[in-house]
Amino acid sequence: MSETDETVENTTVVIVGGGVAGLALGTFLLRDGIDCVVLERQSRQYVEQRQRAGVVDSRAARMFRERGLADRVLGGVPFEPLLNFRVDGETRPLAYATDDHGDGRFCPQQVLVRNLIDVFLGEGGDLRFEAEDVTPEDVDGPRPRVRYRDGAGVTHTLDCAYVAGCDGDHGVSRASIPEGILARHSHEYGYAWLTVLADAPANHQSMMAIHERGFAGQFARGPLASRFYLQCPLDTAVEEWTDDRVWEEVEARFGEPVAVRGPITAKTLVPLRSVVHDPMTYGRLYLLGDAAHLVPPMSAKGMNLALHDADVFAAAVLRKVSEGDASLLEAYSATCLKHVWNYQAFAAWFTDLMHDAGDVSYRGEFRRRLARAEFERLHGSESANRLFGEFLTGLN
C-alpha cells in the first residue's frame, strides 16, 4: 500500500486508549459478543511498563470475579484491613472495620494492564498499538467514524455505533467535543506529590506519615519495590530532589530510617487536583476513566473509577445491542457521575485530612487541629471507622 491508501472497516464500538478503562471495556465487550477495536497511541511495551496505581479496591476486584476474570487479571496480595500511620514520629496503626472478605488487592497497575492485554488478545480481541493521529468524527450523528494512521503511514477509518473515549486526561476524545458542551468542575489542593519508585521492599503494605514537614507515604509495589510519596510545593522541580534528599526527607517525616535505601528508578511530580467533566457523553461519544474525571492519588480511586465506568458502559451497550433498549446508555453519565462524586467526596476529605494534619504552611493551625480531631475520631468512633473502611474498600 502507498501512504495515501485508506482502509474502511465497521465495528460496534471504537475504544480510544488502551489503558485500564479501555482494556477492561474491550475485554467485557468481547466476552459479551460485541465487536470492538481498541486504538492505543503507545507501543505495547510502553503501556505494559507504565507504573502508576497500585490499589484495586474490593468493588473493582469483585467485578472481575463476577465476570470470571479475577484469577487471570488480578495479581498482587489481598489488603489487610490495617493502615499504618506514623504521627509526629510515633506509630499509630488504624485497624478499620470492613465486611470485605479479602477481594481488594495491592495490584500494580502495569500487572493489571499486562494481564488484560493477554486476555483480550488471547480471546481474539482487536488491539492496535502505535495508532497515530486518532480522530473521532461525527460523534453527534447516527454513525460516527474514527480515523487514525498506522506505523506504516496507512490511514484507516473505522465506522462504528459508539466511540468510547478511554484516553486519559490529555487524550483526543474529550478534546474533540465542542466548547461549551461539558462543564468542568475542579479543585486544586495547592500542593504536589513527588512520587518516587525505588527497589526498596516495604515492611508494611502501607505506611503514611503525618508530620510538620508534610505528608509522606510508602506503599508496597510487589515484594521488592515501593512507591514513596512526599508532599511538596507546586513550584518545586524534580531536579531539586536528589536521591539523598529524598531519603533524608522520607526518614525525617517517618521519624525512623527506611528499611532499605534501594536504587531509585523513577521520580515524578503530580499536582493534586480533583476534576469532573459533566456530562460524560456527547452524542455517541462516551467518556470513561481519567478522560472524564481525576481524583487525587491519596484516595487510590482513579483506576477503580475507570473500572467502574467500563463496567457500567459495557452493560449499557450490551442492553442496547441485545434488547434494543437504550435506557442504560441514556443513564450512563448520571449513573457514573453519582459514583464519581461519592468517591470525590471521600478523596477530598481524606486528602485534606492527611495534609492539613501536618504542614501548617498551606492551610494553617485551625485546619491542623480540625484534621487531628478527625484522625482521632477514626480511632475512637466505631461508626466513623466503619464508614472509612467502606470507602477504602469501595463498598460504599
| Residue 341 φ/ψ region, left for φ over 0, alpha for ψ in the -120 to 50 degree band, beta for the rest | alpha
- Candidate list 36, 47, 107, 353; residue touching ligand RFL; CB under 6 A: 47
CA distance readout (Å), 15 to 95, 125, 303, 321, 374: 40, 12, 17, 16, 42
- Candidate list 28, 29, 41, 226; residue touching ligand RFL; CB under 6 A: 41
Q: Which is nearer to ligand RFL, 113 or 357 (CB)?
A: 113
- Candidate list 29, 34, 55, 285; residue touching ligand RFL; CB under 6 A: 55
How many amino acids of this chain bind ligand RFL (CB under 6 A)?
35
- Candidate list 301, 308, 320, 355; residue touching ligand RFL; CB under 6 A: 301
By the rule CB under 6 A, 394 interacts with ligand RFL = no
Alpha carbon of residue 83 to chain centroid: 20
Q: Which is nearer to ligand RFL, 168 or 358 (CB)?
A: 168
- Candidate list 104, 136, 165, 171; residue touching ligand RFL; CB under 6 A: 171
Sheet containing 281-282: order of strands = 126-128, 36-39, 13-16, 162-165, 285-287, 281-282
Helices and strands in the chain: count of H runs, count of E runs: 12, 21
Stretch that binds ligand RFL, among 36-44, 251-259, 344-352, 359-367 (CB under 6 A): 36-44
Stretch that binds ligand RFL, among 27-35, 181-189, 241-249, 301-309 (CB under 6 A): 301-309
By the rule CB under 6 A, 311 interacts with ligand RFL = no
* Per-residue 3-state assignment (H helix, E strand, C coil) for 153-215: CCEEEEECCEEEECCCCCCHHHHCCCCCCCEEEEEEEEEEEEEEEECCCCCCCEEEEECCCCC
By the rule CB under 6 A, 16 interacts with ligand RFL = yes
By the rule CB under 6 A, 167 interacts with ligand RFL = yes
Task: Please give the grid coordinates belonging to residue 120.
Answer: 483480550
By the rule CB under 6 A, 266 interacts with ligand RFL = no
Smallest gap, in angstroms, from Cβ of residue 201 to ligand RFL? Answer: 18
CA distance readout (Å), 287 to 11, 35, 111, 305, 337: 18, 19, 24, 12, 11
By the rule CB under 6 A, 205 interacts with ligand RFL = no
Give the whole-angstrom CA distance, residue 371 versus residue 358: 9
By the rule CB under 6 A, 344 interacts with ligand RFL = no
By the rule CB under 6 A, 108 interacts with ligand RFL = no
> Given the rule CB under 6 A, which residues bind ligand RFL?
16-22, 39-42, 47, 52-55, 109, 131, 134, 166-168, 171-172, 195, 270, 289-290, 297, 300-304, 306
